[in-house]
Amino acid sequence: MSQQLQPTNGIHEFKKRMKSFTKIPFRLKDLEPQAEESRLCDYCSKLKFEVDSFVVRSQDRQFRQSDEKPTQIDTSHIGGLAAESFVKQEQRKKNFENIPRYLGRLSNIRRKKYCPFCRLVLEISDRPLDQRAPSQSRSEDAAVYAKWVIDGQEEIFIDQAGPEQQYVPRTRRVLIYSEPQAFKDGYVALLNESAPFKEFFGRRLKSHDLLEPDVLQSWIRTCENAHGQECEASLVHPDLMLSPKNVLRAIDVDNMCVAEVPPHARFIALSYLWGKNFEQLFTTSESLPRLSKPGALLKERLPRTIKDTIKLTRMLGERYLWTDSLALIHDTGFQYHDDWIYARAHLTIVAGSGKDANAGLPGVREDSRMWHQTIEEVVPGVKLMVSHLAEDYIATSQWDSRAWTFQERMLSRRCLLFVNGRVYFQCRRATFCEDMEMPSPNGWSLDSIDMPTRIFREKPFVQFTSAVELYTRRDLTNAADILEAFGGVEQVLEKRLNVTIYQGLFEQLMDSSLIWESSKRLVRRHGFPSWSWAGWMGEIQWKFTESAKSWIQWHYTEDRVEEQHHFPAQLVSRIEPPVPWQRHRRRIARKLGNNSNVAPLLHFDTIVAYFSLIHPQPVHKTTISPLRKRLTGPSALSTVRPAPADPGLLRTGIADKNGQWCGTIDLDEGWQIRIGVPLKFLVMSRLSCFAEEEISLWRDYPFFPDAAMEEIERFDYGVYNVILVSEQKGICHREGLGRILSSALQNALEPEPCWQDVLLG
């Protein structure tokens, strides 16, 4: 009998359970299999997602001092090998930054939709590639890694030239990257809702389409009140920034007309792209009286960018807005422009979204943007969000790729940048983002890594070289404008550093100025000398902050001028040359004819030596911002990876008379046919050693000479900077910069090294 009732009881129990479902909110996820519930996968669970992992405690800071021993760990309750194991375990807990954690192949991560951290990783990997990203493989087999890195730091005392030890770490983020690089690196940050304090942590946006004016105002106030003269003082020397030559006009946003700005009144400047063939309103002598009447601009058809900026200016509580289309008089044959307008402005608003004046400022109007903020609760009480560095977005804008906007950004006291639907604030000390909590007044975060105005806190020559490196990454429509578009920054550097700059080079440090090179193939720019970076199209870099030392006395000869001009006294003393000076026949400076295309010539005496090229190799360069290579303060902690080889660039060995490697040089692929041919090199200056990245390629090759290995293993073994030259009608032209071991001159090809009078064009 009982056996017959069992089915009835089963049906009754089933009906009872189904009835209970109607008493709770129904969600499809509740019926998903247990395996698909949100939980960390095996790889991600090893990342120790606790609130404390994102906070750097004082004991962690003590342990992280690179020159100190770890703090003593109490092992009195443990003995023998167990104590040693316990110490190692505790040290690993305290020092887990910069240790990569393998998360699996990208294709496998895509299958783990149940893992909240994997979902954050996919949000980073699937971010659309931008036009400024390096060439990347979209392979789904790329290995993905996570790494804890220091984020928020506080400066213990303010000293513009202070060492890195001034910064005390406060917080961490998780860096996500792939090998080989299949996507742009991104970060995962702790949301402030889960954090013990708010500074440096992620922030939930109140609105995904509208910006928050009170947040923008707090950024500006913090800079005004806490950063002092470093941000308030103009970079432009008073001798340069005199009173405006003409009347300073701007849009009066209260009266909606073009008006004269009262003396000492502060104003906002707009930096934006006009766009090609885009029609917009311009002020002329004829239209000025009409546009100066209150309310006049309400009747005009203004570009969306200008309308949005007028609205934003009111939101910020300011009255005057300078924009070149309306503040300047655009009459035929007359164009007045104040070179220092952005340096005078209290704030520069950068319209970096879009390609023309109708792009607008996303976030100022409703429905003008849609920012999708990805937040996941990976374990109870720990909410994480995806973040990208500010400069990662700013550098992708077309506005930031233009050479002419470089000085607008560099000379501004502070900027509000609208790029890719986001708003950033940058001054000379900090970068603030909408989705990250503002650091304390003396704070610094990863978002400030690539901030270009950081260069003005550096040593003089680093200020100069960093400015050139940043500038030459940008696009120039008219190649002949290369020095003119750099002119404003050049004048600022000359006054700040009390130097003079000639053809783009630091006259008082010619030895170091001349050892520029490139990570990519360069194309010759006609009308400029080959010895100047301005004579080439492409990205320029200086590998060394060490001062090059030389024996050369520098002169230059201008076009159609017979006499020599002397460069100023060099800041670095002259050294003894590697070959004793030999009396030789000096070339008499002569007229170069009436050819106006002849660029200025360097005229000097130095040693000439002949070597050949061997073993050409493709060049893999490190993708790293010039701002991360050498600046003081907190260093970049993101990955530094080799970029894909430039197919047009070769790294070749330099060989002596025995066919032995004695140096290295990067050259255009066209030099492949000259392998093994004797070539002329000018010996220019001395450095203490090779750069690590240029010597690392050669050390592992079987042909690398034992004698060369022994030499470079000695401290301060010394190398000479050499310029490979071609020669036409008695004038040398630079083809590439290389370095040779200091011992290499003893084994140069015939004719043996000798002194020569050089004209370098």
Residues 330 and 402 in one domain: yes
252 and 162 within one domain = no
Together in a domain, 435 and 499: no
Tell whether the model's pLDDT for residue 214 goes beyond 80: yes
**pLDDT at residue 86 greater than cutoff 90:** no
> Do residues 133 and 263 both lie within one domain?
no
Residue 200 covered by a domain: no
458 in a structural domain: no
Q: What is the pLDDT of residues 334-375, one digit of tens each?
A: 555 666 899 999 999 999 988 889 999 999 999 898 888 999
Check residues 156 and 180 and name the one with the higher pLDDT: 180
Cis peptide leading into residue 751 (ω within 30°): yes
Residue 650 sits in the same domain as residue 703: yes
State mean pLDDT over 257-286.
Answer: 91
Q: Specify the DSSP element, H or E, that contains 11.
A: helix 2-21
The total number of structural domains in the chain stands at 4
Q: Is the pLDDT of residue 131 over 60?
A: no
Residues in Cβ contact with 254 at an 8 Å cutoff, skipping those fewer than 6 apart: 314, 319
Measure the CA–CA gap between 474 and 394, rounded to whole angstroms: 13
Indicate whether 257 and 342 sit together in one domain.
yes
Decide if 203 is inside a domain. Answer: no
Query: By percentage, how much of the chain surpasses pLDDT 90?
Result: 60
In a domain, 340, yes or no: yes
Q: Let me know if residue 556 belongs to a domain.
A: yes
Domain that holds residue 179: 36-190
Q: Does residue 755 register a pLDDT over 60?
A: yes
If asked whether residues 278 and 332 sit together in one domain, one would say yes
Asked if pLDDT for residue 282 goes beyond 50, the answer is yes
SS3 106: helix
- Residue that finishes a domain, picked among 448, 475, 496: 448
Question: 474, 450, 625: which is closest to 538 by C-alpha?
Answer: 474
Query: Does some domain include residue 642?
Result: yes
For residues 474 and 421, membership in a common domain is answered with: no
- Whether residue 138 is contained in a domain is answered as yes
| 416 strand-pairing partners | 349, 425
* Tokens (6 digits) for 19: 């009835």
Asked if residue 136 and residue 230 are part of one domain, the reply reads: no
pLDDT at 98: 66
The 10s digit of each residue's pLDDT in 500-520 is 999 999 999 999 999 999 988
Instruction: Tell me the pLDDT tens digit for each residue of 543-558.
Output: 998 999 999 999 998 8
Instruction: Tell me the β-bridge partners of 60.
Output: none
Distance between CA atoms of 359 and 304, rounded to whole angstroms? 6
Pair 274, 369 in one domain? yes
- Verify that 632 and 646 share a domain, yes or no: yes
Nearest to 724 by CA among 686, 674, 689, 649: 674
Residues 438-448 as b or e (16 or more Cβ within 10 Å = b): bbbbbbbbbbb
- Both 47 and 8 in one domain: the answer is no
d(Cα 670, Cα 242) in Å, to the nearest integer? 50
